[in-house]
Structure 1
């Protein structure tokens, strides 16, 4: 398995990150992509990627902090993108839930990171919270299909999923697809083509059932995979192989 989105760089793992990584490996997590989204978390993501052969980094700027994004930080992201362990740009996107950066600031930061991903030829990792229409519109208008990428922890409907697939994006599911009341993610998960499906934890957030509300960790990505296999009526082994191949293809991993 490959956890395509994990925050081992979060403060929640400060005391026991080595143990968390060991448990993930024991659970069958082959590789992990640690996502950096501000100065502190990017530095930690790069450190982890340098320390572990099987950990990779994604570097981007989160929409909630878009007000702090400037040309200097954009240039820094471009510099980091040349590192062999950096496999994506993001997470970037839009977040209309937290009122910490204006929509205009978020749109500008998002567009600049799409342009960067196309320039450095890396896929995007997209954060979308309460902003489905604008996220999709900007991806289409900025020709993000040229870079492709992941709709991280997808929460849209079937129609939006199809639109994202049409512009060269993979659909990734995390813990919420295991929640008992998650009718929409379960419905959408059944419709994604085999070759465009990915799994993630977004740990330490969004722990899957039966750990909902507790600290998530990458070992739990197995529970996401089990739920998807059940929903799609395929074997766990088949889906494990498929999602691993998908992640390797997207991130150009050998």
Structure 2
């Protein structure tokens, strides 16, 4: 096969347990047709484990960054460390970064400072962004505009906004990531957004170990559940599963500026890196 069947554009592989458990989960995901993983960061202290985990799997890529939860720890030293990491060929994006109006103990000012600085690092490095946003969409979009984030674009992870907001994100060259919540029987906004988007801006994600799809909502999420999300996307868009796989994987490759590592191998690398 020339490319993976499914591309999980947001999965915390490093948070799935110890190394044997992670190895087992990746094997199950491979059998389910998942051939690529993008692993975001949360806190600077976790970056070494993130890079170590990604290094164990040829189909895994890294997106280190400082989550809004950890924004109070942003400082010049963290910025310097992140800038150095962006030169690593395993790193293909900066994430997950953004704003979160539900977080206690980290002020909006701290979140915005960390977010702006990380956008600037991403633009300087020419790398896309993985966006986290809750209850702060208007402000986040303003900041993306102000910091010229459209130069690199990226992916809105766990998107829960309106159709209009999604289309604003697309104008800034951000794809919309669809995960477990799309599969919930009571879901309304997600299906509406999915139906309104141009097909070239749709990607898949699990966010494992969080946000398990139906019928596994009371369980830890697993990367092997990604096909359940793909099935829901296919149903809502009127696509076949094969079309869903080809379209969403091609979208992820384009948005993340990836090429095949080797002819005939379902693995990726950054453009310009051998």
Q: How does 1:64-143 map to 2 (within 5 A)?
A: 64-143=69-148
Structure 1: stretches of 5+ with no match in the other structure: none
Query: The residue matched to 1:6 in structure 2 has which SS?
Result: coil
Q: How far 1:151 moved relative to its partner?
A: 0.4
Runs of 4+ aligned structure 1 residues displaced above 4 Å come to: none
Question: Which residue in the other structure is 1:45 paired with?
Answer: 50
Q: 1:165 aligns with which of 162, 167, 170?
A: 170
**Structure 1 residues 136 and 86: alpha-carbon distance in aligned structure 2, compared to 1, 3 A threshold:** same
Matched, 1:186 2:191: yes
Residues 44, 65 of structure 2: 8 Å contact kept: no
Structure 2: stretches of 5+ with no match in the other structure: 1-5, 260-274
Rounded Cα–Cα distance in structure 2 between residues aligned with 1:177 and 1:94: 22
TM-score normalised to the size of structure 2? 0.90
Question: Which residue in the other structure is 2:17 paired with?
Answer: 13
Query: The residue matched to 1:202 in structure 2 has which SS?
Result: coil
Q: 1:150 aligns with which of 149, 155, 171?
A: 155
TM-score normalised to the size of structure 1? 0.97
Rounded Cα–Cα distance in structure 2 between residues aligned with 1:249 and 1:147: 11
Q: How far 1:65 moved relative to its partner?
A: 1.2
Q: Which moved more, 1:220-229 or 1:15-24?
A: 15-24
Query: The residue matched to 1:33 in structure 2 has which SS?
Result: strand
Matched, 1:29 2:37: no
Rounded Cα–Cα distance in structure 2 between residues aligned with 1:25 and 1:66: 34
RMSD between aligned alpha carbons?
A: 1.0
Residues 65, 100 of structure 1: 8 Å contact kept: no
Rounded Cα–Cα distance in structure 2 between residues aligned with 1:78 and 1:164: 25
Rounded Cα–Cα distance in structure 1 between residues aligned with 2:122 and 2:22: 29
Q: 2:231 aligns with which of 223, 226, 230?
A: 226
Query: The residue matched to 1:109 in structure 2 has which SS?
Result: helix
Q: How far 1:40 moved relative to its partner?
A: 3.5
Residues 206, 221 of structure 2: 8 Å contact kept: yes
Question: Which residue in the other structure is 1:248 paired with?
Answer: 253
Residue deviations 1:20-48, cap 9 Å, x none? 01101110111101111212332222012
Q: How far 1:236 moved relative to its partner?
A: 1.2
Q: How far 1:50 moved relative to its partner?
A: 1.5
Residue deviations 1:34-84, cap 9 Å, x none? 111212332222012222111111010001111111111111111011111
